[in-house]
């Protein structure tokens, strides 16, 4: 892997990798917590006053500039002793000299990370490795894969040497797949958006997120899309040729996969193209990037957005939606993939859609989905409470029913039928009782019935009949959520 280091006039070091478009920038003269000014243009430096040596010649050339970039940022946040320990971990990575393609380097790093996480090294070192890998992911550095971090490293349990730390799995806000509530709010916000009223920045952000929702595309793929990648078949089918996500050497860097898209996304793309043409007072050519840069004058030029600028566009549209939580292409990708697996999609199909050549990588999605499936009851309780605020029916005694003879029965664990209430409607039911009754305004639920046992039985039977990976999707249906919310409100004395 060849790379070029350029020191520009703004005293920022830019690193480019061979003939690839991957690059990153860092400050070669950072100030440490102790006030020391480091000079990372040299091959080594000492951290004062401890005189801790950072010899960058000890780091393999593949990660040497990565290590300098990490030190440039971390020296402002960590003590010199911690910096020294982190540097030793980076110097511990080994690579064969015949590695050329970026994907080969990525896989090599992941293999070493797995070995380290499964070894008997201390939990503090494992935690530091996870922290370093996560930093490279968050800063969009090449060779560090966000899926590997989010769905393997970040949910890995290994305890702590000091009896504290990340000992348990926890939900991290704005990082994982969208929750049921978040996904519904996001879809509603997209649907209700007045596209004509959006600024060009906001429209670009909306298009970027919509591509992520429909295709599960990474931001690195979105910014490389061009209008010539949009295809409409003779039969009216619409598709988008999506660039491969990872480096595979210069010869393979232009490979694309044709993916079907929705009519809604297609209309958004055409709206954005029309907006560009209005701004330049001319038709644009097919080689224009879908997300282009705008000059200070506001005139668009055919230069694709950097990943940093793409984030500003996303944030612009995020402010329009005003959801109270973050929606990123990273989260939408995890939502897309988790839903595929929840529906029982074969591993090879998911690998193809997610642009993974290593099937082992996709196993982290399956483990993540099964972990969520084991928490289905908790998901039902928390999500249902946020979605459904009011029970539409009423709770009565058997003597208070409005329609005699319209009793509602539900199965119990002993295989007998359990009388849960009465239907107050005078018209034939078009729903799917008894589960759907809990969300119906005509339900007259008996106050002495064991509604909790009824709902729990439905949940248990769904998991047993369809398997956890299918059940996680089925149990997100409104009928289950409404039934669970009814039980919760009844137990809390809200109805």
Per residue in 316-360, pLDDT (tens digit) is 999 999 998 889 888 888 888 777 766 666 666 777 777 765 555
Split at pLDDT 50, 70, 90, the class of 476 is: low
Last residue of a domain, one of 155, 171, 192: 155
- 186/281 same-domain check: yes
CB of 83 closer than 8 Å to CB of 47: yes
Number of domains in the chain: 3
Question: Cα Rg for the chain, rounded, in angstroms?
Answer: 27
Expressed as residue numbers, the domain containing 304 is 180-374
Split at pLDDT 50, 70, 90, the class of 1 is: low
What pLDDT, on a 0 to 100 scale, did the predictor assign at position 255?
A: 78
pLDDT above 70: residue 10: no
What b/e sequence results for 76-114 when a residue is b if at least 16 CB atoms lie within 10 Å of its CB, and e otherwise?
A: eebebeebeebbebbbebebeeebebbbbbbbbbbeebe
Is 167 within a domain?
Answer: no
**To the nearest 10°, the Cα dihedral for 189, 194, 196, 201?**
-30
- Between CA 102 and CA 23 the distance in angstroms is 12
Is 433 within a domain?
Answer: yes
- 147/185 same-domain check: no
Preceding omega of 296 cis (within 30 degrees of 0): no
Contacts of 265 (CB under 8 A, 6+ apart): 210, 211, 214, 240
pLDDT above 50: residue 486: yes
Higher pLDDT, 297 or 471: 297
Write the pLDDT tens digit of every residue in 176-198.
Answer: 778 777 888 899 999 999 999 99
Is 163 within a domain?
Answer: no
- 307/414 same-domain check: no
Is 393 within a domain?
Answer: yes
pLDDT above 70: residue 212: yes
CB of 22 closer than 8 Å to CB of 102: yes
Query: Percentage of the chain with pLDDT > 90?
Result: 27
Is 275 within a domain?
Answer: yes
End-to-end Cα spacing for the chain? 66
Last residue of a domain, one of 344, 374, 404: 374
Split at pLDDT 50, 70, 90, the class of 380 is: very low
What pLDDT, on a 0 to 100 scale, did the predictor assign at position 105?
A: 86
- 188/213 same-domain check: yes
Is 169 within a domain?
Answer: no
CB of 299 closer than 8 Å to CB of 277: no
- Between CA 86 and CA 47 the distance in angstroms is 13
Has this prediction a pTM greater than 0.85?
A: no
What pLDDT, on a 0 to 100 scale, did the predictor assign at position 413?
A: 65
pLDDT above 80: residue 403: no
Q: Report the range of poorest mean pLDDT among 178-182, 365-369, 393-397.
A: 365-369
- 355/212 same-domain check: yes
What pLDDT, on a 0 to 100 scale, did the predictor assign at position 250?
A: 40
Query: Per the structure block, which two tokens stand in for 448?
Result: 């002495």
Is 170 within a domain?
Answer: no
Is 119 within a domain?
Answer: yes
Query: Per the structure block, which two tokens stand in for 135?
Result: 């930093």
- 68/198 same-domain check: no
- 138/90 same-domain check: yes
Taken in order 169, 472, 337, 188, the sign of the CA dihedral is: negative
- 118/71 same-domain check: yes
What pLDDT, on a 0 to 100 scale, did the predictor assign at position 490?
A: 61
Q: Report the range of poorest mean pLDDT among 33-37, 170-174, 370-374, 478-482.
A: 370-374
pLDDT above 50: residue 385: no
């Amino acid at each position: 892997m060849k790379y070029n280091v350029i020191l520009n006039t703004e005293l920022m070091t830019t690193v480019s990798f061979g003939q690839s478009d991957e690059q990153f920038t860092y400050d070669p003269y950072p100030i440490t917590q102790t006030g020391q000014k480091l000079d990372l243009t040299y091959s080594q430096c000492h951290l004062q006053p401890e005189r801790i040596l950072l010899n960058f010649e000890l780091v393999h050339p593949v990660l040497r500039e990565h290590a300098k970039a990490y030190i440039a940022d971390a020296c402002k946040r960590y003590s010199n002793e911690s910096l020294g320990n982190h540097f030793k971990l980076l110097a511990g990575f080994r690579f064969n000299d015949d590695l050329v393609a970026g994907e080969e380097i990525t896989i090599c790093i992941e293999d070493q990370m797995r070995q380290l996480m499964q070894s008997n090294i201390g939990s503090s070192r494992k935690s530091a490795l996870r922290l370093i890998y996560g930093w490279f992911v968050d800063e969009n550095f090449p060779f560090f894969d966000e899926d590997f971090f989010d769905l393997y490293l970040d949910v890995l349990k290994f305890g702590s040497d000091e009896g504290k730390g990340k000992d348990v799995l926890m939900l991290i806000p704005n990082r994982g797949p969208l929750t049921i509530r978040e996904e519904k709010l996001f879809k509603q916000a997209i649907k209700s958006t007045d596209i004509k009223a959006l600024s060009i920045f906001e429209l670009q952000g909306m298009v970027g997120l919509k591509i992520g929702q429909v295709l599960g595309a990474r931001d690195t793929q979105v910014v490389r899309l061009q209008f010539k990648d949009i295809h409409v078949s003779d039969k009216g089918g619409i598709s988008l040729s999506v660039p491969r996500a990872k480096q595979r050497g210069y010869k393979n860097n232009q490979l694309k996969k044709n993916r079907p898209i929705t009519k809604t996304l297609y209309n958004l793309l055409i709206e954005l193209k029309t907006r560009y043409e209005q701004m330049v007072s001319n038709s644009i050519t097919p080689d224009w990037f879908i997300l282009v840069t705008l000059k200070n004058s506001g005139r668009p030029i055919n230069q694709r957005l950097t990943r940093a600028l793409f984030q500003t566009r996303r944030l612009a549209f995020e402010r329009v939606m005003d959801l109270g939580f973050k929606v990123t292409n990273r989260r939408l990708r995890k939502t897309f993939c988790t839903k595929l697996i929840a529906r029982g999609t074969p591993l090879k199909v998911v690998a193809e859609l997610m642009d993974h050549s290593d099937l082992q990588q996709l196993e982290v999605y399956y483990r993540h989905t099964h972990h969520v499936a084991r928490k289905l009851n908790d998901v039902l309780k928390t999500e249902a409470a946020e979605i459904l605020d009011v029970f539409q029916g009423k709770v009565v005694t058997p003597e208070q029913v409005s329609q005699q003879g319209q009793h509602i029965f539900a199965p119990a664990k002993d295989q007998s039928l359990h009388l849960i209430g009465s239907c107050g409607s005078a018209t034939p039911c078009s729903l799917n009782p008894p589960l759907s009754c809990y969300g119906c305004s005509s339900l007259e639920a008996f106050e002495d019935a064991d509604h909790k046992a009824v709902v729990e039985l439905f949940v248990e039977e769904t998991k047993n009949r369809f398997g956890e990976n299918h059940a996680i999707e089925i149990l997100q249906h409104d009928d289950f959520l409404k039934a669970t919310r009814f039980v919760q409100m009844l137990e809390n004395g809200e109805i």
